[in-house]
Structures are given as C-alpha cells and as structure tokens.
Structure 1
C-alpha cells in the first residue's frame, strides 16, 4: 500500500497540538474546534462512556467535515480491537477520518489487523485508498519495548503517541507535575520515533498548571520534541508557542548565523563570538520556520 499525502492536510511534521475531546459532548467538541488545535481527536475510549458510544459514533463521523472546514486534521481514537474497536471503526469511517488512534498497542499484529480493516472499509465506502493514517498509542512497558515493530507494521503509521497515566500505572511509578517519572521514556520515545522516521507525539500534561506546563514544554522542545498531546483546549496556545519559532527567535537566529558565517570568512565581528552548537541550533530553527511559512503559503 502506498501512503499518498493529501494536499489539503497539514503535514504530519507540522502538527504541533493533538487535542483530545469527548466523542459525545457537543459543547466540549465546540470548545475543541475553537481552540485552534492542529489535530482534533474525539475519543471513543476514555472520553466517552461505553453506554454513549452507539450515539457518539455518528456524531464523531459528522465532526470530521467540521474539522476539515476549519483546516484541522480530523482524527479519532477508537477502543481496542478486543473491545468496542470494530464497532467504533465501522461507525466513524463514513466520516473519512484523517487518522485513527489505537490505544494500548503492544504488538505489530494489532496494527496490521487495523490496517486490513481500514483498507476494507476504504474500499467499501469509496474512500481514497491508503489515506487513513494509524496512530498507535504506547501505554505499557511491553508496548514500549516492541515499539520499532509497531512503527514498522504499516505504512499508515506516520506518528505515534506516548501515554501518561496508564504508562505510569504500568510502571508502578509516582505521577508528579514535573514528569520526572516519565522523562527518561519521553527521551527514548523521541529517539525511537526518529529512528523509524515517525513523528513522536509527546504524552499529555494532565495537570491544570500552566506555569508547570510551560516548563514541561521547554524541556520537551530542548530534547527535540515538536508535537504534544493536549487534553484541555486552553493548553493549545501554549503548545503552539513552544513549538513554533517566534519572530524574535527567528531574528536572533538569523543574526547568530550571519555572525558565525562572517567570522568563518575572516570578517571582523567584535567580541561577540558565536559558538558552533548555537550556530547549528539557529540553522535548524530557521529551517523549521521556513517549513511553517511554506505550508502557510
């Protein structure tokens, strides 16, 4: 199967915020749509009660077109295939979701099975072949150690999400607003996804502490992460600010690059030496800025 990019769909590398919302609550969905998130993920698993799923599925399918009208990538999280996942998938696929999240993935077989099911529904519903992405969610130690097999299980996998609460529980760790218990895995998760050529979606910040989240985002940006799961609409703006080069950052980066390259040519620059690591960081920031501007144009 060949995964062809959709011209109107924001590229996966430029999806900074992945906002989860209720599959049932229309007020929550409206707030999520208004947040400016890059990706909206109505969740039929944790955010929707089992008794509500029958009614929620067509609502989620209808929400897909509202997302696309606003330039938002339209995703959905279904339940595990051993639970309500099959019914969820059949219920939402008429809306042609851009991406389907699968929770608690621990093996490549789960992704391969979902791939086949999506392919069958694309053909049945007359949807473009191969355009529905799959986003595995890593929520256990077993899933984590199988991550390379999971990421390689389907060409539909373009990004992967690291969970927070279930993963912490599986590890028997103590949760805290500084995320100390998960930071070692967040770092490795980023490396694993980069090695596989996939986008790492950082775990959600489940505390309503904006200052602590700002510090958490600064740490995530520092290690190279560029995408974050959000669970509250008010988190989106802060995520975008952290993962989008600002005008001031771009101007400083241009200055650092110019001064470093002038010094390399032997031109006098005074006492303000630009170190090589800062030069390369500035160049990467300018490249990132150019990617956003090209997409916007």
Structure 2
C-alpha cells in the first residue's frame, strides 16, 4: 500500500481510475494501483439491484482512500434516477468528489450542489468541500460547458466521456480516435477558460500501442489529467503526465540555450520560441510535483 501523503491539488491529479461500486476486490486493487484518484462507479458499472450493497462497500473504500491520502470519489446516478439514494448511502464516507453523469443543464448541477450541502450538514462535513465533477457525454453537454462550469465553486474538475459521447455524435469509433479530436479540443479549451481541470476521456482499447499513441496525443493537446478504466493503464498514464527528472534537465538546458543564443547562432542548433515555451511549461509542472509529492 502507498504511504499517506497530502491530497493532490486538482492540477496535479493524473489518473482517475474507475472501479465497479460493488466489487470490493477491485477497490483493493485500485488502492494499490498508483492512481491519484479512485472513482467508485454506481452508474454503468453497478447493476441497480447491487447498489445498496455497493454503497456500503464504497464507504469503506472512501475511508481507506482518506487514510492513504488519495482522492476518493464516486460516480452516482442522476438525481432523478437513483442519485438521491446514492448520496444517502455514500456521504457517510465523505467522498472527496462526486461525479454527475450525463450533465447537460445547469439545473442538474444546482440540484446536486444543494443536495451535497444538506448531506454535508447532516454528516458534519465542511460546507462546500465535496467537489462536483460534471461528466460530459453528449453534444448538448459540450456546447453548454461554459455555463455548466460556472454554476458552483465545487466544480474544479470536469470529465469527458467517450463511448456515450461517440454514440450521441453518431461517430464510428477507431483506435486512432480522430472522430473525437474536435470534441476533446473544444472540451479542453472550455475547461481552461473556466479555470477548471479537464479530465480527458479514457482509452477503452486495451492495446498498449493504442494507449501509447492516445497518451502522446493527450499530452500534445495539453491534457494533464485522464480517466482510466483498466488498472493496467494507470502506470502509463502517470508516466505520460508526469515530467521525469531527465525531461526537466533537458528543459533547463533548452532554456539556457535559448537565453544565450545570439543572432548568428548555428541554425541547426537554434532554439525556437515554441520549444522554449514547451520547456517552461514542462519545468513548471515538474517543480509543482516536486513540491507536492
């Protein structure tokens, strides 16, 4: 098991690992996986008849994430479905965040904010400390994103789904994922504009080659956080989204070379502004991790 550490700030949370709500063994595996955040799922991954048992198991999992200094979260059902019962069952465990599936309207988020405030009062949890993570799974949710992200200060992260979004768009899924490139790009831009961390969609292909290409594109676009649905993907996601010491040393060298190059420097060794800017961003993220981990 990991040793306890302070909770990571939203910008430093890399892998958000989703696990079935009723499967205690998957909770144990997830806790040792290296993921920064564990999300117990009461929606797609838990059958309706299993939800009462799952809520009890999730409370135990949340207490363990608290002990280990991990982010413990739960994806509930929509409030008009089983979501209210989900909250009643899980809030004794004081989840760090609650994911709301199929978020499309501000009314959904206003209602969840009010429900969380009431459960925080009942269970002696600090008011406003339970984060809300909207999950965008449709064109309607994506085009409303600016309004959605400004509903509540509880919203510090937002997640883009993949298969339901592709189905809503009528997109034909491919390992390369070109069919969702615009959606991912727009989602990231909207989140950054709202000062909200964008959690990228999961790679739902188990192939290591597909995952590597997917992570390279995610990092190129600017994502720093990603949903994970296969535990074996956690390590690759963490490595892709965490600057290494070698990468930091290379970034420092790039910055030093940029600062000292003259107007008549050898063009084969010339450092261009995009390379300088990338080096600055990488080094800032590296230093943030050094101070937080």
Aligned to 1:276: 273
TM-superposition CA deviations, 1:21-49 (whole Å, max 9, x none): 01001111111111110000000001111
Indicate which of 287, 290, 293 corresponds to 2:287: 290
Please show how residues 177-216 of structure 1 align to structure 2 within 5 Å. 177-216=175-214
Identify if the C-alpha distance between structure 1 residues 129 and 267 changes in structure 2 by more than 3 Å, giving closer, same or farther.
farther
Aligned to 1:3: none
Contact 1:262 1:269 in 2 (8 A): no
Aligned to 2:256: 258
- Following superposition, the deviation at residue 129 of structure 1 comes to 1.2
Indicate which of 13, 16, 35 corresponds to 2:14: 16
1-side partners of 2:102 and 2:92: how far apart?
24
Query: Any gaps of 5 or more consecutive residues in structure 2?
Result: none
- Following superposition, the deviation at residue 270 of structure 1 comes to 9.3
Indicate which of 124, 127, 138 corresponds to 1:126: 124
2-side partners of 1:218 and 1:199: how far apart?
18
Contact 1:259 1:269 in 2 (8 A): no
- Following superposition, the deviation at residue 251 of structure 1 comes to 1.2
2-side partners of 1:183 and 1:252: how far apart?
29
Coordinate RMSD, CA, aligned: 1.5
- Following superposition, the deviation at residue 8 of structure 1 comes to 3.2
Please show how residues 58-207 of structure 1 align to structure 2 within 5 Å. 58-207=56-205
* SS state at 1:185 partner: helix
1-side partners of 2:32 and 2:48: how far apart?
26
Identify if the C-alpha distance between structure 1 residues 127 and 64 changes in structure 2 by more than 3 Å, giving closer, same or farther.
same
Aligned to 2:49: 51
Count of aligned positions? 289
* SS state at 1:83 partner: helix
Q: List 4+ stretches of structure 1 deviating above 4 A.
A: 266-271
1-side partners of 2:290 and 2:206: how far apart?
31
- Following superposition, the deviation at residue 145 of structure 1 comes to 0.9
* SS state at 2:159 partner: strand
Query: Any gaps of 5 or more consecutive residues in structure 1?
Result: 1-6
Contact 1:61 1:94 in 2 (8 A): yes
- Following superposition, the deviation at residue 70 of structure 1 comes to 2.0
* SS state at 2:80 partner: coil
1-side partners of 2:268 and 2:229: how far apart?
47
Indicate which of 234, 237, 242 corresponds to 1:244: 242
- Following superposition, the deviation at residue 272 of structure 1 comes to 2.0
Aligned to 2:39: 41
Indicate which of 30, 37, 41 corresponds to 1:32: 30
* SS state at 2:40 partner: strand
TM-superposition CA deviations, 1:255-277 (whole Å, max 9, x none): 1101111126x897896221121
